[in-house]
Amino acid sequence: MNEDKKNNNEFEELVESSNYDKKNKEKIIIFSSLGVILIFTVIIVFSVLFVNKKYNVNIQYTIKTSEFREPIEKIKVELLGEKTVEKEFSLSDNIKMENIEKGNYTINISAIGQNDLKFYYGSVDSFIDEDKNINLELDKSTIKYSIDTEWEETKAIITLPDGYDEYVVVEKDQDQYKIKDIISENKYELNSDNKTHNIFFAAVKDKKVFDYSQEIIITKNNPPNSPNILYPEEGQNHSQKDIIFTWEASDPDKDLLTYDIYLSDGTTQKNIANGLNNNSFGYNSLELNKNYTLKVVAKDSQNAKSEQSIKFTTTKYEKSYLYSPSGKYGVTIYEVYDPKNPKEISNIKTSGNVTDTVLINTSLFILRINDGITIADVKNPETPIIKKNLELDEVDGLKATDKYAYIRFKDGRVSVYSIEKNPYDPKFLGFTDIKYYGSKNPEIKYIQKNIRIEVPIIQNEYALNYKFKNKIYIGSYILVVGSEEARTKINNNLTYVYDNLSLIFTNREIEDFKDYAKIDSIKSQLKNALNEFLKMSEDTGVKEVKLSINKIN
């Protein structure tokens, strides 16, 4: 203290002295400089302690619970104020922003994942004038999604809202939500396969991922079954300008179908109808003497398609023949040049009531309802010739192809005959299901060896005279046959059946009818005699004779 006082006195003496020397002048300068330095030091210390003080910001965050859990790679913190401070942290780091100057800040926190996208984010405004602890929940902003789905056959095309930078595609797979893709266009294509797809979309703007859309479910879509064109048939000739195209189609997913119709004459193809809801279409602009291709395209509600094409021809009216069932008058044959003016040229007279005919090449199959089938040669329609009669009881339907004739009975049975080698001598093959009635490839369910039809001859006790001396009382006499034809022939020849029985009995000894072994021999003799009369084998004729004898007097 005494030393400072002494120095001050010296300084005052130097200042007041009007005759100080150079040495004294230097002392004045030194003291002045020390004073200035002291003042600046005080200012700097004050600034450090009070004006430029900096603070630390500790940040705690949580991510809002969601069924979507994207893989987060890092956390990014931005402090936006007069100065911008950015820093990235790993998920395991404690988030601390150090040496932050006093001021107002917007604090942005983002959870960063794939492609540097901000999957979760939060923001808070804060005035920093001391060390701070910030707690923030990270979430997504929501938007309203408008999403359309269209189909191109088995491919779904999904249109997303426009005006965004990117779109995150998430698929749910066994309760797991996984990022399937990140796309830049607002259209997403997904091929329908064998499983159901549960898809979500999230729009992205400025790297910020918005909340996800509602679930979009894409299920496997099967295309329609190929249409079956009913008219005209493949290769058919249609001799008029007007035509009604008909077809049938179905969809394995039970979708409603619409139809587009195309017609080609070999030079140009025309789309003559679109979006039809029914299974027929009338067209009145055919040209005669042309070869056409008709194509029917079936489309389901998701635009999946299938198609079928057939070829047909158109010709001028040429001579043809119409074989008209005429009931008890048989079959009337017409010569047709103009379908509107047919000309009667001949008649096939048959027994019974004719209700249907089927022409196979030059063979005409004629249905006599309940009575049987007649087959006629109509190679020359003006002079038809009956070639075969099949007497079949309770027959009520007839169809035929190049190889098979189908005869339907009232009880629902459908018998199948082979006519491929000789249509006038049909060979019985067996029976088939009604669904194969008229089919080109029937499934024979019951072959002829398994057919057993019982034809009762005697059902109540009947006394047969034996050599005018005795009577043999027959309890029952039943023939088991292997075809409808055999049953019909037997029923039409019952007199012979009785006479045959009487003749064979008369040629046996009375004791034979008391011996079971001899009775079996009698049955065998009856069977052989009947099959010889019927001109049929055991397979289709008489298979077994059932005979019971009650007593002998």
d(CA 505, CA 507): 5
Q: Given this model, what pLDDT does residue 186 score?
A: 93
Q: Given this model, what pLDDT does residue 67 score?
A: 81
**Residue indicated by tokens 């008229």:** 438
Q: Given this model, what pLDDT does residue 268 score?
A: 92
For residue 280, the number of C-alpha atoms closer than 13 Å in the C-beta half-sphere is 7
The pLDDT profile of the chain, 553 residues, written as one tens digit per residue, is 555 555 555 545 544 554 445 556 666 677 677 766 777 665 665 555 555 689 999 999 999 887 877 889 999 999 999 889 999 999 889 999 999 999 999 999 999 999 999 999 999 999 999 999 999 999 999 999 999 888 776 788 899 999 999 999 998 877 788 888 999 999 998 876 667 888 999 999 999 999 999 988 887 778 899 999 999 999 998 888 899 999 999 999 888 999 999 999 989 999 999 999 999 999 999 998 899 999 999 999 888 899 999 999 997 766 889 999 999 999 999 998 767 678 999 999 999 999 999 999 999 999 999 999 999 999 999 999 999 999 888 899 999 999 999 999 998 889 999 999 999 999 888 888 888 888 888 877 655 446 788 899 998 998 888 877 888 899 999 999 988 888 889 999 999 999 999 999 988 888 888 888 888 999 999 999 999 999 888 888 999 999 999 898 8
d(CA 31, CA 235): 127
What's the per-residue H, E or C state across 2-69? HHHHHHHHHHHHHHHCCCCCHHHHHHHHHHHHHHHHHHHHHHHHHHHHHHCCEEEEEEEEEECCCCCC
Q: What is the pTM of this model?
A: 0.41
Q: Given this model, what pLDDT does residue 333 score?
A: 96
Q: Given this model, what pLDDT does residue 342 score?
A: 87
Q: Given this model, what pLDDT does residue 9 score?
A: 57
| Letter string b/e over residues 75-88, b meaning 16 or more CB atoms within 10 A of that residue's CB | bbbbbebeeebeee
Beta strands in 206-268 (DSSP E): 208-209, 216-218, 228-231, 243-248, 258-264
Q: Given this model, what pLDDT does residue 20 score?
A: 47
Q: Which of 288, 209, 206, 273 is nearest to 241 (CA)?
A: 288
Q: Given this model, what pLDDT does residue 79 score?
A: 94
d(CA 332, CA 378): 12
d(CA 256, CA 251): 8
CA 485 to chain centre: 46
What region, left, alpha or beta, does residue 467 occupy, with left being phi > 0 and alpha being psi -120 to 50 degrees?
A: left
| Letter string b/e over residues 428-462, b meaning 16 or more CB atoms within 10 A of that residue's CB | bbbbbeeebbbeeebeeeeebeebeeebebbeeeb
d(CA 377, CA 361): 10
Number of residues written out for the chain: 553
Q: Given this model, what pLDDT does residue 301 score?
A: 83
Q: Given this model, what pLDDT does residue 439 score?
A: 84
**Residue indicated by tokens 């230097």:** 26
Q: Which of 169, 187, 197, 196 is nearest to 68 (CA)?
A: 169
